[in-house]
Structure 1
Amino acid sequence: MSPRDVGRAQMYATERLVFRMFERAGSARTVQIAGTELTLPTEALFGSVDSVRDYVSRVVSMPAVLERFPRSGVPVAVRSRGGFRSAEYRRVGGHAEIAIPDTREGRWALRELVVLHELAHHLDDGDGPAHGRGFVLTLTELVGTVLGPEAGFVYRVILAESGVR
């Protein structure tokens, strides 16, 4: 039995703050956070689950990801998910998959930060809760590796200020 995921709601609420920061960054992409002015990278928005699948394949093949995350060598499938309320990651036996809604109502999930969240579940090799400390560290490092240190900094600051550990 896996540990209870008591941090899930707090993690999702905190990520919504990060998402809004990326959405409101404007054309200059400049934001102020923790007394620091920085330029956010442009977040990729995907047009289909096929493009998410290609993106995930490219991310897990990045040398920096391969070096840091041992599970990046473990295959992960990406499929369309019915419904529209959530994206999800599942690991059953030796099979791992990310399911992304792609209906009109579910297009919110076709964004890079959501995909990286689901991929962080795959790369987290800890045995703690799904949104526990190991996951938070994995997600923060993955975002910083893929999107750059500015995005990683945003995650670290907002997660810490929100009490997500």
Structure 2
Amino acid sequence: MTTLVSSIIPDWERERPRKFWDPSRKLLLSIRKYQAINKNSFSGKLISKYWVFIHRFWSVITGAEIDLSCQIGGGLLIPHPNGIVIHAYAKIGVNCLIFQQVTIGSHEDFKAPVIRGHVDIGAGAKILGIIEVGEHAKIGANAVVVKNVEALTTVVGIPAKVV
């Protein structure tokens, strides 16, 4: 019997750093801490600068370009963060899995893809444009997604097609 991971309730345990050297989880932690700070006070501005520094450190270590302002739901897993690029306005749902060399982007300045809850994105996949990927969808390795993906479907290829 297969149990689906929730696409609504975040599993924060997936993001908790397991050891001192845990680059992908430390990168996510720096994003979470930065976003949680009230930047209107003097101390808030000072602490936010600290988390920006930590974010830049882990970005260099991981080779990932994940903007501090993107909306990421809880429980994101990025086992191999090398080369991941996520647009500043991208929205990523809870409990998603993103492998290495994934690009989630758009040519629009203030619009980007929306990834719903528990989406698995294979290595090298590109999700481009103002599109939406439904809950529990799977994006195959090296797929180029330029159209909406329905919930509970798997897409592969260039351009991505439902399997």
Normalised by the shorter chain, which TM-score bucket?
under 0.3
TM-score computed with the length of structure 2 as normaliser: 0.24
Q: Which has the higher helix share?
A: 1
Task: Report the TM-score when normalising by structure 1.
Answer: 0.24
